[in-house]
Each structure stands twice: as structure tokens, then as C-alpha cells.
Amino acid sequence: MSTQSSTSAHRGYVRPEHERLLTAATVITFVRTVASVGVALYAANDRSLTLLLVALGIYWVGDMLDGGVARLTDTETRIGAVFDIVSDRLCAGAFYLGFVWLEPSMALPVGIFLLEFAVVDTFLSLAFLAWPLRSPNYFDLVDRPIWRANWSKVGKAVNSSAIALLMVLTHSVPICTAIAICLLALKVWSLVRLNRIGLPLPSLTTAGADDGLPAHVRPVVRRRP
């Protein structure tokens, strides 16, 4: 990540004094998550694809709305970003498991997608915490190729929308499985690239970092070759 004299004032960097859980954006995240999961569960019970699509719509619209409100009100926080990330996984899981409940033949592509989204993509999305960034939306400050593949507008659309739309529109197991595998491959590529960059670790020189801590739990500084 490049270092400039003005980096502390950059739009993407964390502002500790702004960090808090309760904001308009996090309230929207909570409401859209409860609503989306609730409708998805009701849809599965009612065996209604229409209601399941409503649940997906609530998730997608709510996800755009909470992010937009956070930016509009200048209340983007790391706490809010993490809350949004874990909420997305619950909403997506409810939709895709509900879809398998209605279309058991889609179990293979759904399983591959959930492996990609709930495991690999979750790790990638939370990796921003290793840097002083507000959210993964600003990961271009660390590595632009990873950001472009995962959190640019095109990257987000492909990662979150493509497989769901294909499943609903085509009901094709081979096509959806192939797309899910491609998405998983993209995430694995991002993970390999992230591993090469390395996740920075807390410095021992950080004020109070090792005060009173036993030696075996003190932070260790990575020495890169």
C-alpha cells in the first residue's frame, strides 16, 4: 500500500473516532437481514419461488441501500462493514438453501457457490481488517487486481448476482455448476494473490500492545524476506 503524507485524510482509511455499531446504515442492515431471512424461510415452508425471489430482492436492495446511506451520511465504519459482510452470508444462505429445498437438483451448484461465498469470499472480505481501511470497498489501496475482481461494481455484480439469476432463469445444473466453479476459481486466485502480499501483523512498538500480556500471546511482527 502506497504511503503519502495525506493518507490519513484519504476517504478509504479508518477514522477511529467514528467507529460505532449503531448507525442508520447498520439499522438498515439489521432490518433487511431479518426481513430477507424471514421471507426466505416462509417461502421455503410455502414452497413459493416467488416469495423466495422477494427475499432475494430484499437482500440485494437492502445491501445497496445500507452502503449508500453509510456513504451519504459519512458513517462508513469497520464495525458496519463486518456486520454487513456476515449479514450478507446469512441472507444468501437462506435464499440458496431455500432454492435447493424447492429445486433439489440444484444442490451441486449451490453447494459449490456456498463454499465460495460463505468460506473463501468471507475470508477475503474480512482481510481488509489487516489494514487501516474502512471496508473492502477500498481494497484498491492495497491491491487493485484483487479489488477489481471482488469489490468493483462489475466484480460485485458478477459475484453476487450471476449465479442466482442463472439458477432461476435456466434451472440448468451443468451451466450453473460451471459458473459456480469459475467463481470459486476467481476467489482462489484472489486468495493466492492475497497470500503473496501477506497480511500485516500488529507491531510490538504499538502503544500498550504487549503491556501485561504473557509472552506466548504477544503480537509477533512478520519479517518479510
Q: Cα angle at 140 between 14 and 89, to 5 degrees?
A: 75
Q: What are phi and psi of 133, to 5 degrees?
A: -105, 155
The domain spans of the chain are 18-102, 105-199
Confidence of residue 16 (pLDDT cuts 50, 70, 90): confident
Confidence of residue 158 (pLDDT cuts 50, 70, 90): confident
- Spell out the alpha helix ranges (H) of 9-106: 24-46, 49-72, 78-102
pLDDT at site 11 = 74
Contacts of 132 (CB under 8 A, 6+ apart): 13, 14
CA dihedral 8, 12, 13, 16 (to 10 degrees): 120
Rounded-to-integer distance, Cα 59 and Cα 55, Å: 6
Rounded-to-integer distance, Cα 33 and Cα 56, Å: 10
pLDDT digits (tens, 9 = 90+) for 168-204: 999 999 999 999 999 999 999 999 999 999 888 766 5
> The cell 500500500 sits on which residue?
1
**With 0-12 CB in 10 A as exposed, 13-18 as middle and 19+ as buried, what is 58?**
buried
Mean pLDDT of the chain: 86
pLDDT at site 176 = 95
Confidence of residue 219 (pLDDT cuts 50, 70, 90): very low
pLDDT digits (tens, 9 = 90+) for 62-100: 999 999 999 999 889 999 999 999 999 999 999 999 999
pLDDT at site 203 = 60
- For residue 213, give the 3-state DSSP assignment: coil
What is the largest distance, in Å, between two alpha-carbon atoms of the chain? Answer: 60
pLDDT at site 201 = 76
Residue 12 cell numbers, joined = 478509504
